[in-house]
Amino acid sequence: MKNRITSALVVTIVILSSCNSTNDLCVCIEKGSELNEFSNELLMSEFVSEEQESELYQLRNEVDSLCAPFKEMGPKELYELRNACGDYPEP
């Protein structure tokens, strides 16, 4: 389970920087951030319920689906799309 959480975190970190829901990358980043926050909560808890685990898998699947178009995209294109998301610091 930790490998899956780590994978989700890596995907988010690769494209993480910003968002404002103006393009699909922004939606991907927002959902990735939501997955990161939820994953961190679960990592800090002593017990993970089946419901929480199910929600984690659902979020991860959403992130995978939303972010799939960007996995093969070049850094320059990602950078330009990310800049359209909003006011976040440079990587």
**Domains of the chain: which residue ranges?**
2-10+21-83
Over residues 7-16, the pLDDT tens digits come to 555 455 554 4
Per-residue pLDDT, 2: 61
Terminal CA-CA length for the chain: 28
- Please give the Cα distance from 2 to 4 (Å, whole number): 5
d(CA 40, CA 23): 26
Question: Per-residue pLDDT tens for 17-71?
Answer: 444 346 888 999 999 999 999 999 999 988 989 999 999 999 999 999 999 999 9
At 21, is the secondary structure helix, strand, or coil?
coil
Q: In this structure, what token pair is assigned to residue 25?
A: 């990358």
Of 65 and 85, the one with more pLDDT: 65
